[in-house]
Amino acid sequence: MHDIVDLRSDTLTLPTPEMREAMARAEVGDDVWGEDPTVRRLEALAAQRLGKPAGLFVSSGTQGNLVSVVTHTRPGQEVVLDFDSHVFNNEVAGAPVIGQLQMRPTKTERGFLSPEQVREALRPANIHLPQTGLVCVENTHNRHGGTCCTPEEIAAVAAVAHEAGVPVHLDGARLFNAAVALKRPAADFARHVDSVTFCVSKGLAAPVGSVICGSAEFIERARRWRKMLGGGMRQVGILAAAGIVSLERMVERLAEDHANARRLGEGLAKLPGLRVDLATVQTNIVIVRIERGPAATDELVKGCAARKVKVHAMGPAAIRCVTHKDVDAEDTSRALEAFRELTSRW
């Protein structure tokens, strides 16, 4: 039970005492010189969990995606991705600005491009056309409410891309949520893609950081891009130490977040004026549609805040609730109660 129930995002998780302890004790060195043993341990551990030869610690998921995208491509190429993807919508147009890339967003039903959609989006050899440089997939899918795609779905998309000689990047900011929800090893999702980024700073509760995993050759080139983008950090084992605790101690407990989200979603779906597509509540995100529109959405966000429940308005008529380790079952009940009180007046 916490004083404030903060459901705005799983990025708000605070580091655990064990993380702070590990950070305080971390053996460090200059990571730009390749001499930080704790960063090396995190990179090796992440690579092992994802079944890839090498890893690279980066400052954020956004930096991880940008570094990956520009490492795979050349200026003037096109990136095929989902219309609602984080890379397309929430990364400040980094790929077009820094990578001089054209984005090719495609609308999808669930946030995942089908193999047919990828096939259609790939550019044929023609002097007029940009070349397709990369296909991106996202798992779990943020804007679609934490939905998961299976390793087999990723494999099918990757097969089409690879047949055309196009690499695939997986934005797996919350990949471990998908792994826990579908009870599959994280490596199963990474097997068919050329690179993957995941965050230790979200549900895995570390204060800072993401890791890119891929081939040794890819990671060496990515390391140069990271340096160019200002991501060459020094005794950053202080931060990587918390990421190691994330991977060793915080993965299995994501199931609790999923159970809380499920309970929250099922409760909210029963309230008047609220709609929750329960089929999308697969991990730790619940998207609530507010049938009465923007004014009612605003009223709910403010009313919840007055009851010490923080939620995030997502567009004009939706609210996003994200469960995480600093929201327990009791907190979930309090959040539900706040919504119940507010909607009972409607």
Ligand X SMILES: *Cc1c(COP(=O)(O)O)cnc(C)c1O
Query: Under the rule (CB under 6 A), what is the footprint of ligand X?
Result: 60-62, 65, 86, 138, 142, 171, 173, 199, 201, 210
Return the number of the residue (86 or 258) whose C-beta is nearest ligand X. Answer: 86
> Closest CB to ligand X among 62 and 297?
62
Q: How far apart are alpha carbons 25 and 244 in whole angstroms?
A: 13
User: Closest approach of Cβ 228 to ligand X, in Å?
Assistant: 18
Phi, psi angles (nearest 5°) of residue 166? -105, 130
Minimum CB separation of residue 197 from ligand X in Å reads 7
Which CB, 86 or 192, lies closer to ligand X?
86
Enter the tokens of residue 285.
Answer: 């995100």
d(C-alpha 162, C-alpha 337), whole Å: 50
Taking the complex as a whole, the smallest distance from the CB of residue 139 to ligand X amounts, in Å, to 8
Which residue in the shown chain puts its C-beta closest to ligand X? 61
Tell me which residue of 243, 260, 224 sits closest to 334, measured CA to CA.
260
Q: Considering the complex, state which of residue 61 and residue 267 has its C-beta at the smaller distance from ligand X.
A: 61
Taking the least distance from each CB to ligand X, the nearer of 175 and 241 is: 175
Find the shortest distance in angstroms from Cβ 253 to ligand X: 19
Could you tell me the smallest distance in angstroms from the CB atom of residue 92 to ligand X?
10
Cβ of residue 307: shortest distance to ligand X, in angstroms?
27
Q: Are strands 132-138 and 274-276 parallel, antiparallel or unpaired?
A: unpaired
CB of 60 to ligand X, least distance (A): 4
Q: Tell me how far apart the terminal alpha carbons of the chain are, to the nearest angstrom.
A: 29
Which tokens is 307 given?
A: 């009851």
Q: Which is nearer to ligand X, 210 or 260 (by Cβ)?
A: 210
Reported residue count of the chain is 346
Residue 146 φ/ψ, nearest 5 degrees: 75, 30
Distance (Å, whole) CA 20 – CA 163: 46
At residue 194's C-alpha, the angle toward residues 151 and 130, to 5°, is 110
Strands (E), the chain: 5-6, 54-58, 78-82, 102-106, 132-138, 168-171, 195-199, 210-214, 274-276, 285-290, 309-310, 312-313, 318-322
Residue number, 9 or 333, with CB nearest to ligand X? 9
